[in-house]
Structure 1
Amino acid sequence: MARPLIADIDLDALRHNYAVARALAPQSRSMAVIKANAYGHGAVACAKALEAVAPAFAVASLEEAETLREAGIRHPILLLEGIFEVKELARVEALGLWQVVHSDWQFDAVMNYPAAQPLPVWLKLDSGMHRLGYDPESFVDRWSRLKAAHRRVRDLHLVSHFASADQSDTAQFEHQWRVIESIRQRLEAPLCIANSPATLAKPVTHGQWNRPGIMLYGSNPLESELPAGVSLKPVMTLRSRLIAVQSLQGGEPVGYGSRWHTSRPSRIGVVAAGYGDGYDRHAADGTPILVDGQRCPLVGRVSMDMLTVDISHLPEADIGSEAVLWGRGLSVDEVASHGDTIGYTLLTGLLPRVPRRYHSGA
């Protein structure tokens, strides 16, 4: 009998969420961000599920793009961090990839590369996050030089990244937007700046291209509720089963370090899932888990292969009862909040030993 921990991946939910992103920005083209193995969901399967509707994909590295090409994905693929070594340009050209340029060594590599055809370049502006990209005046200079290099570069786009688009109202976002808009107007540059939060809540940022990521997988990246009328569906449901039930008296410790003790006679269910699978070891007592569809609190520290849950209020729950760690009926964002983290971390942190099972529909 196989270990019961499974990640169910609902590809219809993925397509629904992509349709939401597209409907929010009908004048933009929305490339689907499927970096980090599609946020833990499986990049090849997600790309194939979206290839009929998404005009392009975005990944973090050449290796991620190569995996998609080897699987038969022929759509344009943008390298969000560009190349990491000059020698990668040959593969970028051979695979027909788009690339971000954010540093002068990348700029020089593109300008000196003897490409058979001009290479698409997405030039990165540091509009205030101060992570990657050129300051505004340097950006204008590099843009002008790339624009003049007709035989080496084509399809120039301005790309930048917001540090706080997930927040309701911040001076930092307004500053970044003013910087971007001033450069856009000055250069008449096509934009790709709207990530998931901006796609959802900042329509002024919708450009020729948007790049939704985490929202495609059903997670809400905003600090607030989703906008009125917007509904995202969880794509991954991580589920397991109870593999043991302990009946304990009051005052008994549970788990490593005796962090939690029973306060009364209790039934404790043992779930086949742990930090060796990607479930957060920092999850606090009280983190919700669905057992047979009913909310139950996690109790005690998460182990490598198991965790424990108080099922005292569920007399029918027993060995074999289903346990949903996150997904349908239990938001990954709510679970993440109990470990002082975010849904991105849990989804991308799901380890390879957890089988992904793909399906469409309920």
Structure 2
Amino acid sequence: MSRPCHAQIDLQALRDNYRLACELAPAAQAVAVVKANAYGHGAIEAAKALEPLAPVLGVACIEEAQELRAAGIIKPILLLEGIFSADEVNIASRENFFLMVENLEQIEAIIQAEVEHPLHCWLKVDTGMHRLGLLPEQVDGALAILKASNNVQADIIMASHFASADELDNPSNAEQLRCFDELIDECEQAQGLAQSLANSATILANPNAHRQWLRPGFMLYGASPFTIDNDNAAKLKPVMSLLSEVISLRPIQAGERVGYGGKWQAERDSIIATIACGYGDGYPRHAPNGTPVLIDGQEAPLVGRVSMDMITVDVTDIPDVQLGSRAEMWGKALCVNRVAEYANTIGYELLTRMPARPTRVYSS
């Protein structure tokens, strides 16, 4: 017997979401992004599920890529933040890690290295997000240096990242796309190179920016990047279900309080169910009273503060709740984005901050 809190991971849903990305842009190839422990789902298992489908996997850094290699993953792996020190260039060459290149120091490290095999490089351009990427005026010279180096494969890919792709009516999306396209048109060295602009939101809603390489991340895990309805996002299948059970039931009288600090007070005689899941299991500590939890498939409101190991919910209006009744904190029947909205955060954070304690239970 073990503590019932666990994360159920549906690998078939993961694969179906990847296929959806490919179907939306049939002329493009898609990097399957498994950074941050596959957004909390387990990088090794996610990569094994996606490797037969994806030509390239994507991670943030070389440590994440090495973890996948050690687990037997053989497909190329794109380092989305590139290298952090010059010694990583030789590792990338040896292990077939593709490099995102975003500054002149990285370029210098690449061309000065003594590598076993030429590197596949993606050149990132800052078109308005102002986080990573070369300035547009640096691109032509950077490409000339990379192309002249025997350390670099000829198939350089031009990349950028939208700052507000999830806000469909934000004018910055069109402005960034215009900036990128003008740069390509005016940059002699960029002619004929493949392009990559599309993150999850762009894949789902902006076909003009699909280009040759997609970078699906959040959408792979079955949650929408949007705060409004979107027809394509509605086709996504949730991959993670955070599940547990009712471990205690108690009646309380009107006026009695529940949890640390007594922050919730019953306005009527109530039945309180305690669930084995808390912020030590990835449930947001700042989730307020009223946040929905499913008990045997029916919504019950969170009451009282979230504890490290437990939460409490009001099940007064749900018949036949008993010890062992199923609790779903988020998953196939309760969208993680909805819980995140109550907790004043985003679904990205809830998934990627999932700790190791809840056992991942994988199904195909």
Aligned match for 2:361, one of 352, 357, 361? 357
CA contact (8 A) 2:224 2:233 kept: no
Distance between the aligned counterparts of 2:227 and 2:304, measured in 1?
A: 28
Distance between the aligned counterparts of 1:217 and 1:226, measured in 2?
A: 16
CA contact (8 A) 1:168 1:223 kept: no
CA contact (8 A) 2:205 2:232 kept: no
Distance between the aligned counterparts of 1:232 and 1:93, measured in 2?
A: 35
Question: CA 1:64/1:120 → structure 2, altered by over 3 Å: closer, same or farther?
Answer: same
Question: CA 1:214/1:228 → structure 2, altered by over 3 Å: closer, same or farther?
Answer: closer
TM-score, reference length from structure 1: 0.97
Distance between the aligned counterparts of 1:16 and 1:258, measured in 2?
A: 45
Aligned match for 1:295, one of 294, 299, 302? 299
CA contact (8 A) 2:94 2:117 kept: no
CA contact (8 A) 2:204 2:232 kept: no
Question: Which deviates further from its counterpart, 218-227 or 233-242?
Answer: 218-227
**Residue deviations 1:120-154, cap 9 Å, x none?**
11111001000011110112221122122245443
Note the C-alpha offset of 1:201.
0.4
TM-score, reference length from structure 2: 0.96
Distance between the aligned counterparts of 1:315 and 1:196, measured in 2?
A: 40
Following TM superposition, the consecutive aligned residue runs of length 4 or more in structure 1 with deviations greater than 3 angstroms are 150-154
- Verify: 1:313 aligned to 2:317, yes or no: yes
Write out aligned runs for 1:36-115 (5 A).
36-115=36-115
**Residue deviations 1:176-207, cap 9 Å, x none?**
11111112233223111100000000111111
Write out aligned runs for 1:146-157 (5 A).
146-157=146-157
Note the C-alpha offset of 1:41.
0.6
Note the C-alpha offset of 1:104.
1.7
Alignment match, 2:4? 4
**Secondary structure, in 3 states, of the residue corresponding to 2:280?**
coil
Distance between the aligned counterparts of 1:305 and 1:208, measured in 2?
A: 46
Note the C-alpha offset of 1:230.
4.8
- Verify: 1:234 aligned to 2:238, yes or no: yes
Question: Which deviates further from its counterpart, 139-148 or 9-18?
Answer: 139-148
**Residue deviations 1:321-341, cap 9 Å, x none?**
110000011100111100011
Distance between the aligned counterparts of 1:228 and 1:82, measured in 2?
A: 31
Write out aligned runs for 1:218-257 (5 A).
218-227=222-231, 230-257=234-261
RMSD (CA atoms): 1.2
CA contact (8 A) 2:93 2:118 kept: no
CA contact (8 A) 1:125 1:135 kept: yes
Q: Name the amino acid aligned to 1:94.
A: R
**Residue deviations 1:201-254, cap 9 Å, x none?**
011111110000000000100132122585011001110001111210011111
**Secondary structure, in 3 states, of the residue corresponding to 2:122?**
strand
Number of positions where the alignment pairs a residue of Structure 1 with one of Structure 2: 360
Q: Name the amino acid aligned to 1:206.
A: H
Note the C-alpha offset of 1:255.
1.0
Question: CA 1:327/1:265 → structure 2, altered by over 3 Å: closer, same or farther?
Answer: same
Which blocks of at least 5 consecutive residues in structure 1 are unaligned? none
Question: CA 1:51/1:281 → structure 2, altered by over 3 Å: closer, same or farther?
Answer: same
**Secondary structure, in 3 states, of the residue corresponding to 2:279?**
coil
Note the C-alpha offset of 1:315.
3.0
- Verify: 1:29 aligned to 2:1, yes or no: no
CA contact (8 A) 1:184 1:191 kept: no
Alignment match, 1:270? 274
Which blocks of at least 5 consecutive residues in structure 2 are unaligned? none
Distance between the aligned counterparts of 2:110 and 2:101, measured in 1?
A: 9
Question: CA 1:262/1:24 → structure 2, altered by over 3 Å: closer, same or farther?
Answer: same
CA contact (8 A) 2:41 2:240 kept: yes
**Secondary structure, in 3 states, of the residue corresponding to 1:53?**
coil
Alignment match, 1:325? 329
Report sequence identity in percent.
48
**Residue deviations 1:287-332, cap 9 Å, x none?**
1110011011111110000001010011310211110000011100
CA contact (8 A) 2:93 2:119 kept: yes
